[in-house]
Structure 1
Amino acid sequence: MAKKVKKRKEIKRKLLHKYRLVILNESTFEEKISFKLSRLNVFVTGSLCIIGLIALTTLLIAFTSLREYIPGYSSTKLKKQATDLTYKTDSLVANLNNTNRYLESIRQVLKGEIESGEIDMDSLREQFKLDPNSIDLTPIREDSVLRAEVALEDKYNLFERNTGGAEIVLFPPLNGEISNTYNVEQKHFAVDVTAPTDTPIKAVANGTVIFSEWTADTGYVIILEHKDGLLSVYKHNGSLSKAQGDVVRAGEVIASVGNTGELTTGPHLHFELWSNGNTVNPLDYIDF
């Protein structure tokens, strides 16, 4: 027991034993600064310095941009950018899928293909059927004038849809002799109209040009997109007057009659109407 007490006193003495740290002038040995230190003071001071350095380093890492230089540490800004990029990527993927589906429908129009072998004509006609109860049939002066112009020019035909009374006026793209009619069984989803070469071809309704290029099978082709998912297709043209992205008005010249492409037998217009990916008979809605 006495040894333990003696040992504790010895340790305490060593910790509290005073030492003098003196800084002298090298030339004159003049004492400049002196400190009285003990081992306990040195230990406490050193510990406090280490704790201070750790605290300062932690603050610098937590509240400054230095943390971005630490491997494996991601900043809040980078996380936000990554999240924004993820959302943008999802949006781009969705837009890409929609674009691919849209382009696939355009490919079907160009190739003359449909998704199924059978077309439900009754459902298609139902889409374009006009509900008389939704229209006021009381004659007015403007209506009489319009009817007179229609009867005189034989130029207009209503392409009507059962969409709350909305209607599209379709112009005949070309006046001529019909050489081949719409035939689903033969996969001829168009009307062929013969006319002299370079005869102007007109847009059947207001719309936007979504395709205006040359194809090997059908020559110069132009496709217009109209409202309510309606597409009008003009093939075997001799030349094209409009480019992709152009906005056209009904009755505006968009091409001329020609005999281009491998699948042609003479100057004519191969005209198709497509509604939401399904073909319709142009003769049901346009008087050529």
Structure 2
Amino acid sequence: MVILNEDTFEERFAIKLTRLNVFILSSLSAITLVFFTVLLIAFTPLREYIPGYSSAKLKKKATILNYKTDSLVQELELNKRYYASIRKVLTGDVASLDFNRDSIIEAAKNDLDILQVPTNREDSLLREKVDKEDKYNLFEVSGDQSSYILFPPVNGTISEGYNLKEKHFAVDVVVPVNTPVKATLDGTVIFAEWTVETGYVVIIEHNRELISVYKHNSGLTKEQGDVVKSGEVIAMSGNAGELTTGPHLHFELWSKGYSVDPTNFINFE
């Protein structure tokens, strides 16, 4: 191959093409082309225009979304467990033990039982009097002057009492329709909705893992998330729900996941 000057026809460049020369030249050209192509793809934004190659911004967004999705999955699982617990309370599908007042404050009394102090007749009479006065105190903390007294949600006649064998984890108190239903203790409303079987239902979470449940109400005065005080009106009693047997309040009390007999702590009459 010869390159000539167009004006003088002077030979400017000449090369003898052979198969080997052509092969070497083609190989060098291909290698150079591949090298510069790799440089463009690896170190310039042009790589984002290659089909199937995601951008750095897209990868960052995908990573952030992955973290958010993982957090949402964990939160959803916690919510499922939370509402499953509430559903068990509403349906009564919870393992129950026959708790009494002594079992709930067992830890506090164990500390007192360690002290073997001899008593006389006057001490015994005084202790009996104090026990009667504290009959409706749910919790007593050793060394603390504060105690928790449960407020009766309503006052009326108990038509059906607490019965573990029949899985009736509550007391039914007969009251007229639209009687104010009051919170038995300070707490936070964690459920306040209508249910087909038990009408308007209110569930309040209190301190010391105590939960109170109020069913068959005709209306609500509180919403989920509201903070209530002991004796504050939270609903109006009624005769609502498919399982109702007449105007009454269905009241449940749960301590640390177990149902307890409300009459051990509350005087409904």
Q: TM > 0.5 between the two? A: yes
**Could you report, residue by residue, the CA deviation over 1:207-237 in whole angstroms, capped at 9, with x for unpaired residues?**
2222222222211211122234332111111
Residue 181 of structure 1 pairs with residue 164 of structure 2: no
Alignment-derived partner of residue 214 in structure 2:
234
Question: Is contact 2:183-2:231 (8 Å) kept?
Answer: yes
Q: Which moved more, 1:190-199 or 1:50-59?
A: 50-59
Note the aligned Cα RMSD (angstroms): 3.8
- Secondary structure of the 1:175 match is coil
Of 20, 28, 32, 2:3 maps to: 20
Q: Using a 3 Å threshold, how does the CA distance of structure 1 residues 38 and 156 change in structure 2: closer, same or farther?
A: farther
Which stretches in structure 1 are left out of the alignment for 5+ residues? Answer: 1-17, 25-29, 135-150
In the aligned structure 1, how far is the partner of 2:234 from the partner of 2:168?
23
Q: Using a 3 Å threshold, how does the CA distance of structure 1 residues 73 and 66 change in structure 2: closer, same or farther?
A: same
Question: Is contact 2:188-2:205 (8 Å) kept?
Answer: yes
Equivalent positions of 1:101-250 (< 5 A) are: 101-114=81-94, 116=95, 119-121=96-98, 126-132=103-109, 133=111, 157-160=136-139, 168-250=148-230
Q: Using a 3 Å threshold, how does the CA distance of structure 1 residues 198 and 123 change in structure 2: closer, same or farther?
A: closer
In the aligned structure 2, how far is the partner of 1:33 from the partner of 1:259?
116
In the aligned structure 2, how far is the partner of 1:124 from the partner of 1:88?
46
Shift of 1:20: 2.4
Shift of 1:183: 0.7
Which of these two proteins has the greater Rg computed from alpha carbons?
A: 1
Q: Using a 3 Å threshold, how does the CA distance of structure 1 residues 242 and 19 change in structure 2: closer, same or farther?
A: same
- Secondary structure of the 2:13 match is strand
Question: Is contact 1:156-1:169 (8 Å) kept?
Answer: no
What's the TM-score once normalised by structure 2's chain length? 0.72
- For 1:159, the aligned partner's letter is L
Aligned length: 243
Question: Is contact 2:135-2:265 (8 Å) kept?
Answer: no
Q: Using a 3 Å threshold, how does the CA distance of structure 1 residues 230 and 35 change in structure 2: closer, same or farther?
A: farther
Alignment-derived partner of residue 258 in structure 2:
278
- Secondary structure of the 1:96 match is helix
Shift of 1:182: 0.7
- Secondary structure of the 1:62 match is helix
Question: Is contact 1:172-1:287 (8 Å) kept?
Answer: yes
Question: Is contact 2:97-2:260 (8 Å) kept?
Answer: no
In the aligned structure 1, how far is the partner of 2:54 from the partner of 2:103?
59
- For 2:137, the aligned partner's letter is L
Question: Is contact 1:240-1:255 (8 Å) kept?
Answer: yes
Structure number with the bigger relative contact order (C-alpha 8 A, sep ≥ 6) is 2
- For 1:264, the aligned partner's letter is T
**Could you report, residue by residue, the CA deviation over 1:168-212 in whole angstroms, capped at 9, with x for unpaired residues?**
543221222222211111211101122232221111222222222
What's the TM-score once normalised by structure 1's chain length? 0.68
Question: Is contact 1:210-1:245 (8 Å) kept?
Answer: yes
- Secondary structure of the 2:77 match is helix
Shift of 1:131: 0.9
Question: Is contact 2:97-2:258 (8 Å) kept?
Answer: no
Q: Using a 3 Å threshold, how does the CA distance of structure 1 residues 227 and 53 change in structure 2: closer, same or farther?
A: farther
Shift of 1:156: 10
**Could you report, residue by residue, the CA deviation over 1:123-149 in whole angstroms, capped at 9, with x for unpaired residues?**
996444351548xxxxxxxxxxxxxxx
In the aligned structure 1, how far is the partner of 2:10 from the partner of 2:60?
56
Q: Percent of aligned pairs with the same residue?
A: 51
Which stretches in structure 2 are left out of the alignment for 5+ residues? Answer: 113-129
